[in-house]
């Protein structure tokens, strides 16, 4: 064996051992690409299935969102319409508010004038009230004086009427005495009558019942007294009530306080109108 | 012609060649086992399983 052969044998062995070492190291460190490929393919299939599911879910959600968008769009349209209507109502309300505010301002001015007028009226009312109080106090005083004067007047009237009755009785006695004197020239002087004998000619012939209607007329009217044309000869007595009428109209009542033979006098009651001479007086309406 | 007799002058080179051959053989067996275990084939390109 030559030297060159020996060298080639040694080199070939060394290179073979080196190459085998590299091969073992490379193959030992190599991964299982097939199993990794299978895993990656399964992952890809799973991802594809997930993608399909997600796509379906996306489509479903997109459809739902589309419907929701449509509904929201309709809602937005309705709300927009309502908003426009509300804006129009707001403008109308503002216009009405301005108008009412103007009316309120004008009424405020009117009310201020009314308040001033009311103050003036209240002041005049207070003044009138004071005058009324003064007049009432004066009226009370006058009423007292009037009552006193009326009482005195009634007393005087009664005295006057009694004196009138006395005068008439004396006139009748005078007439009777004159008749006696005229007849004494014919009749013997023995037949002398008593001068002071009361005369009964003023008495009525027959008593008049209260139910009998007595009618007369008003002869004279004083402040509170009325003189009637009927007296005891017609059946009139004291405290009898006569109704004074004018045609069909009731005027007042008269309570008889004093009675003479052919006339009577009384005070007014239930005065509706003041009687006048000539009005009708009757005990029954 | 005289027959030339060849005799090994030394067993060192024989041992070296044996060692190299054994190494190459071991490497080939190792690589074959790996390919068979991973891909199920020795000389073709691995196919994806259905």
pLDDT digits (tens, 9 = 90+) for A231-280: 888 888 888 999 999 988 888 999 999 988 889 999 988 888 889 999 99
User: What confidence category does residue B5 fall into, taking pLDDT thresholds of 50, 70 and 90?
Assistant: low
Nearest Cα neighbor of A233 from A203, A272, A192, A198 is A203
Q: CB B23 to CB A17 under 8 A? A: yes
Which of A81-85, B39-43, B46-50 shows the lowest mean pLDDT across its residues?
B46-50
Token output for A120: 């003036």
Q: What is the mean pLDDT of residues A223-230?
A: 88
Residue of B28, B31, B36 for testing the chain A interface, max A β-carbons within 10 Å: B31
Indicate which of A17, A22, A37 best probes the interface with B, i.e. most B CBs within 10 Å of its own CB. Answer: A17
State the nearest Cα–Cα gap between B32 and chain A, in angstroms.
10
Show Cβ contacts of residue A12 under 8 Å, excluding neighbours closer than 6 positions. B20
Mean pLDDT of chain A: 88
pLDDT (mean) for A83-102: 95
Q: Over 60: is that where the pLDDT of A201 sits?
A: no
Q: Do A9 and B26 touch (CB under 8 A)?
A: no
Could B26 and A20 be called an inter-chain contact, meaning their C-beta atoms sit closer than 8 Å?
Answer: yes
Chain A residues touching B38 at Cβ < 8 A: 32-35
Q: Which of A9, A16, A33 sits opposite B24 (nearest CB)?
A: A16
d(CA A4, CA B44) in angstroms, rounded, equals 40
Cα torsion for A67, A72, A78, A80, to the nearest 10°?
Answer: -140
Say yes or no to pLDDT of B6 above 60. no
ipTM of the complex: 0.74
pLDDT mean over A58-70: 94
What is the pLDDT, as a whole number, of residue B47?
A: 76
Mean pLDDT of A37-48: 94
Number of A to B CB contacts under 8 A, please give it: 47
pLDDT in tens, A124-181: 999 999 999 999 999 999 999 999 999 999 999 999 999 999 999 999 999 999 999 9
Distance from the Cα of A50 to chain B's closest Cα (Å) equals 21
Q: What is the rounded average pLDDT of the residues A1-14?
A: 88
**Residue A206: per-residue pLDDT:** 44
Whole-number pLDDT of residue A3 = 86
Q: Does residue B27 sit at the A interface (CB-CB below 8 Å)?
A: yes
Give the model's pLDDT for residue A25: 93
What pLDDT, on the 0 to 100 scale, is given for residue B12?
87
% of chain A at pLDDT higher than 90: 63
DSSP three-state, residue B24: helix
Q: What is the DSSP string of chain A?
A: --HHHHHHHHHHHHHHHHHHHHHHHHHHH---HHHHHHHHHHHHHHHHHHHHHHHHHHHHHHHHHHHHHHHHHHHHHHHHHHHHHHHHHHHHHHHHHHHHHHHHHHHHHHHHHHHHHHHHHHHHHHHHHHHHHHHHHHHHHHHHHHHHHHHHHHHHHHHHHHHHHHHHHHHHHHHHHHHHHHHHTTS-TT----TTPPP-TTS-SSPPPTTS--EEEEEEE-SSEEEES--GGGT--TT-EEEEEETTEEEEEEEEEEE-SS-EEEEEES-SS---TT-EEES--
Of A13, A30, A32, the CB nearest to B20: A13
Span of A105-114, A199-208, B24-33 with lowest mean pLDDT: A199-208
Is the pLDDT assigned to residue A211 strictly greater than 90?
A: no
Residue B41 touches partner A, C-beta closer than 8 Å: no
Distance between B35 CA and the closest CA of chain A, angstroms: 9
Judged against a pLDDT cut of 80, whether residue A37 lies above it is answered with yes
CA of B24, closest CA in chain A: separation in Å? 6
Give yes or no for residue A205 having a pLDDT over 50: no
Please state, for a pLDDT cut of 70, what percent of chain A lies above it.
91
Confidence bin at A187 (pLDDT 50/70/90): low
Tell me whether residues A24 and B39 touch, CB distance under 8 A. Answer: no
The pLDDT of residue A57 is 95
Average pLDDT over residues B22-36: 94
Interface of A with B (CB under 8 A): 1, 6, 9-10, 12-13, 16-17, 19-20, 23-24, 27-28, 30, 32-35, 37-38, 41
Adjacent-strand bridge partners of A255: A241, A267
């Amino acid at each position: 064996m030559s030297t060159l052969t020996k060298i080639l044998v040694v080199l070939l062995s060394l290179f073979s051992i080196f190459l085998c070492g590299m091969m073992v190291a490379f193959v030992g460190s190599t991964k299982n690409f097939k199993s990794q490929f299978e895993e990656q393919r399964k992952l890809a299939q799973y991802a594809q299935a997930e993608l399909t599911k997600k796509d379906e879910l996306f489509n479903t959600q997109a459809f739902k969102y589309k419907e929701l968008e449509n509904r929201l769009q309709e809602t937005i349209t309705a709300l927009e319409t309502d908003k426009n209507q509300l804006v129009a109502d707001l403008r109308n309300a503002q216009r009405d508010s301005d108008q009412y505010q103007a009316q309120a301002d004008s009424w405020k001015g009117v009310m201020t004038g009314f308040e001033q007028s009311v103050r003036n009226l209240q002041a005049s009312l207070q003044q009138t009230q004071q005058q009324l109080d003064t007049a009432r106090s004066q009226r009370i005083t006058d009423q007292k004086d009037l009552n006193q004067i009326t009482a005195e007047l009634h007393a005087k009237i009664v005295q006057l009427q009694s004196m009138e009755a006395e005068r008439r009785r004396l006139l009748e006695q005078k007439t009777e005495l004159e008749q006696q004197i005229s007849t004494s020239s014919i009749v013997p002087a023995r037949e002398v009558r008593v001068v002071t004998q009361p005369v009964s000619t003023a008495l009525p012939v027959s008593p008049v019942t209260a139910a009998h209607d007595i009618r007369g007329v008003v002869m004279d009217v004083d402040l509170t007294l009325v003189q009637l044309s009927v007296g005891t000869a017609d059946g009139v007595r004291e405290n009898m009530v006569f109704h004074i009428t004018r045609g069909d109209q009731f005027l007042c009542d008269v309570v008889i306080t004093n009675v003479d033979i052919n006339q009577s006098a009384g005070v007014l009651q239930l005065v509706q109108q003041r009687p006048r001479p000539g009005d009708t007086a009757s005990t029954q309406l | 012609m005289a027959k030339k007799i060849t005799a090994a002058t030394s067993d060192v080179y024989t041992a070296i060649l044996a060692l190299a051959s054994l190494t190459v053989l071991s490497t080939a067996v190792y690589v074959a086992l790996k390919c068979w275990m991973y891909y199920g084939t020795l000389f073709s390109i691995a196919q994806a399983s259905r």
